[in-house]
Amino acid sequence: MKKMRKIFAVLLTLAMVLAMSIPTFAAEVTEPVTSYSSKITVTGLSSQEEETVNLYAAITLNVDKNEWIVADWAKDYIGLSTDGKKYEITNAERLAKAVPETIAPFQQKHVVGETQVEFSEVPVGAYVVTASGNKITYSPMVAETYNDVATYMQAKNVTLVAKSSGYDVKKEAADGFVKRGEEVTFTITTTFPSFTVADSEDNTFKIIDTPTGLDIQEITSVKIGDTSLKANEDYTTNKADDGKYTIEFTKNTIGTSNTNAGKKVEVQYKAIVTSEEGYTNTANTSRNETEMGKTEVKGYTGTITLTKYAEDGKTILKGAEFKLYKATKDKVKEENSGVSALRFIKLGDGIYKLALADNEATSTDTLVAVNGTLTVKGLDEGTYWFEETKAPEGYSINVDGASATIKESKDKNVTVPTSLKDTKLSALPSTGGIGTTIFTIAGCLIMVTAAGLFFASRKRTNK
């Protein structure tokens, strides 16, 4: 009997222990995990300009009633259950575009030089996010912060990638007023795009440069942000027969998660000016074979026209020859000045363009004003001096030569006129004229008179 009592006491004790522990277990299982606020992060913004990002509340939660409240402007695109406990966005694309211009944003952020912005303490719900810059407008986005798979009411953090239909492309030239044969450094600046399907194998990003009057020599630098990229590993280049130059970023650079979206892209390269009329250079960017942005930069040159006149300043003289120097006459004539005559390629009678470095075999430093005028093209700013080396027949060389100064222009080619007068050589009269006869008769008279005087003086001496 004593044993039975002991067993019963042990069982009773165990029952009491279990009974005390049951409420504890129940509390751990049934206590709801709730969260009513979250973060919305917007990435892929351009670091090239100031960006404004707005947050508009389309649907929010009435915590006290545990009911969803839909904004009036969003009701056409959000379905709500009769008890207000559940919602469904029926048309996210139209919802994103439905925000009235008259309402103020729920939250607003301004960023400069950044590729992302973060909104914190955002109440659970659904939001339309808009982003824009000075030159870039992004497609509106929808962010749902309600975690609909959680057992209890719970908010979730959301990250959005801003997508633009185009990005600003800037192009700068180190020199905009140039001479033919000059090497110019160009800089292209744009924004790395975001991709709708970030991990697609078909994603491409290219920068395409189309030069006119230029020959691209080499890419000297490619950067994303502050990171320098490696040729062939991070990007490839291709130069077509027509001179078009393509820089294509590799899969290694594009990645699979829009890591570089919104970052600054900078490309520098060198090109030789090949045209005597200046250059035009167009750059555009392409995402998945769709143009994203385009820009153009132009460079200009100078031309000098020289007209050869007779002393009257009206009669045009043909056939004079010249050399042209980029210096003043005094500088050219200095002892050991080292100033050489410029070399040119003949385009036509009296028309020349400045020679390139590799045109020496076909170039000349003798410029012939065949019809009395001389035109030299492809010059940059500075002072030039024409030295006359051969005058037209019957005229003397004008040792002063002719000078011309070209001033830089930022929006057009420049033509500067100059002129030079030659003087006639002292002329002999034509055959049969009386000019020399007079001198001959006078000379003979003088000789006869001198002879007469001589003999007369001798006769007096003999007497």
Residues 306 and 290 both lie in one domain: no
Is there a single domain that holds both residue 174 and residue 186? yes
Token pair listed for 449:
């008179």
User: Do residue 179 and residue 219 come from a single domain?
Assistant: yes
Q: With contact defined as beta carbons under 8 Å apart, do 283 and 294 qualify?
A: yes
> Do 289 and 311 belong together in one domain?
no
Residue 460 resides in a domain: no
Q: What is the DSSP string of 213-276?
A: SEEEEEEEEEEETTEEP-BTTTEEEEE-TTS-EEEEE-HHHH-SS-TTTT-EEEEEEEEEE--T
Domains of the chain: total: 3
Does a structural domain hold residue 11? Answer: no
Tell whether 335 is covered by a domain.
yes
pLDDT tens for the chain, 463 residues long, are 555 555 555 555 555 554 444 443 333 433 444 568 899 999 988 887 888 999 999 999 988 888 899 999 999 999 988 887 889 999 998 999 999 989 999 999 998 888 899 999 999 999 999 998 877 778 899 999 988 887 777 889 999 998 887 788 999 999 999 999 999 999 999 999 999 899 999 999 999 999 999 999 999 999 999 999 999 999 999 999 999 999 999 999 999 999 999 999 999 999 999 999 999 999 999 999 999 899 999 999 999 999 999 999 999 999 999 999 999 999 999 988 889 999 999 999 999 999 998 877 889 999 999 999 999 999 999 999 999 999 999 999 999 999 999 999 999 999 999 999 999 986 444 444 444 555 556 665 666 566 556 555 555 555 4
CATH of the domain at 110: 2.60.40
In a domain, 152, yes or no: yes
| Residue 402 resides in a domain | yes
Q: How far apart are CA 375 and CA 193, in angstroms?
A: 48
Same domain, 156 and 43: yes
Q: Is there a single domain that holds both residue 257 and residue 282?
A: yes
- On whether both 390 and 271 belong to a single domain, the answer is no
Q: 142, 161, 180: which is the final residue of a domain? A: 161
Assigned domain for 253 exists: yes
CA pseudo-torsion sign 26, 27, 32, 38: negative
196 lies in the same domain as 274: yes
Helices (DSSP H) in 301-362: which residue ranges?
Answer: 329-333
Structural domain of 364: 302-421
Could you tell me which of 327, 329, 328, 326 has the C-alpha nearest to residue 343? Answer: 326
Asked if 238 and 337 sit in the same domain, the reply is: no
Decide if 323 contacts 333 (C-beta within 8 A). Answer: no
3-class SS of residue 432: coil
Question: Is residue 97 located within the same domain as residue 210?
Answer: no
Residue 438 counted as domain residue: no
Is residue 292 included in any domain, yes or no? yes
Tell me the two tokens of residue 10. Answer: 């042990």
Residue linked to tokens 């407008």: 137
What separation in angstroms does the CA of 183 have from each of 77, 180, 216, 364? 59, 9, 9, 22
CATH number for the domain spanning 242: value is 2.60.40.740
β-sheet bridge partners, residue 66: none
